[in-house]
Chains A and B, each alone.
Chain A
Amino acid sequence: MPSLSMDRRQFLAGALATGAYGALHHTLGVPRSRSIGPKVAPRLSPSQGGRILVLLTLYGGNDGLNTVVPFSDPSYIQQRGSIAIPESSVLQIGQGFGLHPALTGIKALWDAGQVAIIRGVGYPNPNYSHFESMDIWQSGNPSGDQPTGWIGRWLDTTRPDPMQALWLGANLPLAFVGKNQQASSIAASSSPASQIPTGGAELRSFYALLQQAHRYDTKLQRASMSAGTNMLAVSQVISQSLQHAPAVAQNFAATAGSFGTELGVVAQLISAGMPTQVYGVSLNGFDSHAGELASYATLLKQLDSGVAGFFKSLRGVPQGAQTVLVIYTEFGRRVVANASEGTDHGSGNTAFVIGPSVKGGFYGDQPSLTQLDSNGSLAVTTDFRTIYSTVLEQILDVDPSVILGGQFTGVPFI
């Protein structure tokens, strides 16, 4: 893969210096000079150590025990029964563990020392509601009452800039919403044309005028106008980035579905040198209450080809080396299978951190499969905020205690 070509660098500098991006900063009251080129772009250059976070949310509660399989533990086979993954088919990764057979691409990354597997992750007093537990994870607060997300609060500590965090999809999850700032969202489409409004310049300029907030506007109206204004700025930059970036999405979109398209767009934007520091993508369907064996394999295949394709397409791209993928889900599944050949909501789960700059290996203690909590769930050995702590400090360059409201010893995966 060639390094960042001259015209890609030129277009981006142009968009940042003179385009809608600069205009946006103007409307937000940020001095223009501070948002131009050098102040923003080099923050991410590999030479300065700027890292990029890609946050992957698995919705539904991933079955960590069938992702990183403790095949050597007899009680695993015994409790999982017909949905256990046998030793003969797992991809062994040492210490008596094996990856689900669908995870061949992630296994290759593990062998290259780029995969950190964190075990027993969760929070005290597990909550078995999808929504409450996801709110806890996304807010970064086990009370579940915090109305802002952990990435959103990071955004609140930074200069207003709609390019800093991008969510792939229509509507933002809590993680990406702060008190004063929120991430921008874009469609999961690699077509440059689909990322900008189809109307002409006249409609766009009228639209821009309409989105200017005034004193008497309600809070919701102002939120609507802010989204509209940010859209005009973001869409220009995204569209131009996609136009100039190598087309990587097609490589793995076919096998990874819409999730692959999302990661493909992220890979293109990263390789185009976007100033974005956090990307958010998601994969649905992990709520495996019934008939887990077949559907789960299909889903993990999708996950695997997306993740493997993503890192493959970033090989040789300068920012690729600084890209870190964090994979989490709201909770794990119960150890014992239910009668529907599925598993019910549990806790004490597995999280992944993947990337060329990641120190691969196991982190966190594996919870016992026999000494379960009163709900029949795995114990929690690693507070999820210890992962956030490392991400905030090492990737997002902020004091974690400001975001998490307390000190958490990080997990040394970077």
Chain B
Amino acid sequence: MFGALVLYSRLSSAGTYVSAIVVSVPYSRVSTNDTLRGESPQPPEAVVLSTFCGSSAIIRSQSQILNILLLIFHELWWYLYVVANSRALLAHLSRRAGFGATPAELDVAERDGWDATIRRLVKGLHETDAGLSQVLPPQFLPFASEVGAGAASAKTAEFLALTNWWLDLMLSTPTPFREKLVLFLHEQFPTAYSKVNYPSLLYRQNAIFRDMGHGPFDTLTIAISKDPAMLIWLDAGTDLVAHPNENFARELMERFALGIGHYTESDVKQLARCFTGWALNYQTGLFTYSVAEHDFGVKTFLGHSGAFTGEQAIEIVTKETASAHWIVSRFWSWLAFPVGPNHPVVANLAPLYAKNRHFGSLLESILKHPEFVSTQSTTGLVKQPVEYTVGTLRALQLTTASFPSGYVMNLLIKLGQQLFNPPTVGGWGANGFWLSTAASLTRLDFAQTAASLGNLSRIEDEAPRARIDALANMLGIEKWTKHTTTVLHAAKDNPVMLTSLGLVAPEYVMN
């Protein structure tokens, strides 16, 4: 079998080789994951073999020696693969766990190596962010003075400033993985200005994502649920004993924590009773709990029965087995390639996540998972508009202030991903969702504007024939296809044109 695989690998193209091997030996590395050490659900070699042989019956008849040989082979292969593709994979890592790397940043990552780079990224999830002090948040009027219709124009200005602040933070932060996590959490708990209507409250929610996002899911969910932005967004602030509002209870299970198909309509009604009495105090802008309006009776949902409070209800829902699968599938789909809650890679990671339900640990185990560097992963995602925009501004050394006021926010509206304003509680779509004709036109216009404003010295300083590689390097592209190279070659004398084309090449539209 060993020989056959090697032979196969030699005969195959590089891409097929990678996917064949990685798919064949998917999960053994998990056992060496720092966060999960010693608690692997089953012996890794058994997983390897079952995938190799396609039958657990065969595993039992295999000799221990073959198991060990295969493990050694796999580890050796893994090492060679990551080393051989070092720079390309590090670029992939920096796009997924951030907004792309500059050539200098890639040099550093290459020097540090794969494991150390992941360690640094993950450490950044917990660190006090130096970038926060560099990019100052907008000033908000006191909450009470914004209640009602009076401060409409002030709020419009605050909202634009809020959007620019977060974009500029994504651009300049030394801990980009943290901002990426904040973006993912914005998508996991989508809350929109269209209904919340107070920029200061959206800022407070964003700060909770940043401060608590790497920690336990239940603590984060409780904090977000009692936070005013969510209270307004899902009408939780108006729950009453008589006819509890079901909006928040439903979305808590369907979108935030469990996923569809793991609860009943009766669970929704029962869960809603737990949140009665939760409200927003419009004088202070803070959460308030009204004892008189709380339903203290026994509630029965998801097989649990008791006089649960809202906090207890969230702890129950976030600890369901289905929740682990849902959460893992969400993060995997953002970082690697789209999967449903029943995908094998989810089944593989869910028990590990379920040990502590910390998002930081989950993100680390995703980055360290062999499938994260598979061809399916490296070709599996389209840049979300925010990733496309921030990545481009980073590469061209621009900020939101480089453009006319409101330009970047308007760009994101036209691409369909306005920050702090998702269309529904379902958030945004993904991948193919971003590939519309309207978005193609917007990207082409933006590419041209950004290229004409940006710092192109990395292109201009090169001789024309070296510019195509320099452009790939600047944009974090491993390699242009032959066809793209031909087209870019024709535009190499005009750096603005060349850069514009690089920004709309299919390779760059992918993440």
Contacts and interface: CB of A to CB of B under 8 A. Distances in A.
Interface of A: 59-60, 128-132, 162, 167, 169-172, 177, 184-187, 195-199, 202-203, 206-207, 209-212, 214, 216-218, 220-228, 230-231, 234-235, 284-285, 287, 289-291, 336-340, 342, 344-345, 374-375
Contact of B481 (A59, A214, A226): A214
9 contacts: A130-B425, A169-B416, A171-B436, A206-B491, A220-B431, A231-B440, A336-B243, A338-B244, A344-B247
B238 A340 contact: yes
Contacts of A132: 260
Contacts of A169: 416, 438
A234 B440 CA distance: 11
A82 to B, nearest CB: 12
B246 interface: yes
A284 B247 contact: no
Contacts of B441: 187, 195-197, 231, 235
Nearest to A285: B194
A169 B428 CA distance: 14
A159 B510 CA distance: 29
A162 to B, nearest CB: 7
Nearest to B432: A223
Contacts of B500: 199, 203
Nearest to B483: A214
Q: Interface centre among B235, B415, B432, B437, by most A CB within 10 Å?
A: B437
Q: Interface centre among A214, A228, A287, by most B CB within 10 Å?
A: A228
A340 B507 contact: no
Contacts of A285: 194-195
Given A59-B423, A199-B444, A203-B500, A171 B235 contact: no
A226 B439 CA distance: 12
A234 B436 CA distance: 12
B382 A220 contact: yes
A15 to B, nearest CB: 16
Contacts of B439: 170-171, 185, 227
Given A170-B416, A221-B506, A206 B487 contact: yes
B510 A224 contact: yes
B424 A59 contact: yes
Contacts of A217: 481, 506
B510 A221 contact: yes
A206 B435 contact: no
Nearest to A218: B379
Contact of A162 (B194, B245, B437, B491): B437
Closest 4 CB pairs of A and B: A170-B416, A339-B240, A340-B238, A231-B437
B445 interface: yes
Interface in B487-511: 487, 490-491, 497, 500-501, 504-507, 509-510
Contact of A224 (B487, B491, B506): B506
Given A207-B504, A210-B505, A234-B437, A344 B246 contact: yes
Given A218-B379, A340-B240, A345-B246, A210 B433 contact: no
A340 B423 CA distance: 23
A339 B491 contact: no
A50 B245 CA distance: 47
A227 B238 contact: no
Given A197-B445, A220-B379, A224-B506, A129 B250 contact: yes
Query: Chain A interface secondary structure, helix, strand, loop or mixed?
Result: loop
Contacts of B413: 170
Contact of B414 (A128, A170, A184): A170
B506 A227 contact: no
A413 B285 CA distance: 51
Given A185-B437, A203-B448, A342-B245, A128 B235 contact: no
B146 interface: no
A326 B239 CA distance: 35
Contacts of B504: 207, 210, 228
Contact of B235 (A214, A234, A235, A290): A290
Contacts of B380: 220
Interface in B228-269: 234-235, 238-247, 250, 254, 260, 265, 268
B433 A171 contact: yes
A210 B501 contact: yes
A176 B42 CA distance: 45
B490 A206 contact: yes
A132 B251 CA distance: 12
Contacts of B440: 224, 227-228, 230-231
A220 B415 CA distance: 17
A210 B424 contact: no
Given A210-B487, A216-B481, A289 B245 contact: yes
Contact of B438 (A186, A207, A212, A289): A186
B441 to A, nearest CB: 5
A19 to B, nearest CB: 16
B426 interface: yes
Contacts of B431: 220
Contacts of B250: 128-129, 345
A36 B343 CA distance: 47
B484 interface: yes
A212 B505 CA distance: 10
A225 B505 CA distance: 9
Contacts of A128: 250, 265, 268
Interface string B11-23: 0000000000000
A230 B436 CA distance: 9
B444 A284 contact: no
Nearest to A235: B441
B414 A339 contact: no
Given A339-B238, A345-B246, A210 B506 contact: yes
B496 to A, nearest CB: 9
B406 interface: no
A202 B487 CA distance: 12
B434 interface: yes
B408 to A, nearest CB: 15
Contact of B243 (A187, A199, A337): A337
Contact of A221 (B244, B448, B507): B507
A199 B497 CA distance: 10
Contacts of A222: 506
Nearest to A287: B247
A145 B43 CA distance: 36
A235 B441 CA distance: 8
B306 interface: no
Contacts of A223: 432, 435
Contacts of B435: 220, 223-224, 226-227
Contacts of A291: 238
Contacts of B54: none
A229 B439 CA distance: 12
Contacts of B481: 214, 216-217
Nearest to A195: B441
A284 B195 CA distance: 11
Q: Interface centre among B194, B235, B240, by most A CB within 10 Å?
A: B235
A153 B414 CA distance: 27
A332 to B, nearest CB: 15
A172 B491 contact: no
B348 to A, nearest CB: 24
Contacts of A186: 437-438
Contacts of A199: 444-445, 448, 500
Contacts of A337: 243
A338 B272 CA distance: 12
B243 A338 contact: yes
Interface in B393-429: 413-416, 423-426, 428-429
B501 A172 contact: no
Contacts of B433: 171-172
B385 to A, nearest CB: 9
A342 B432 CA distance: 36
Interface in B351-384: 379-382
Contact of A289 (B235, B241, B487, B506): B235
A202 B497 contact: yes
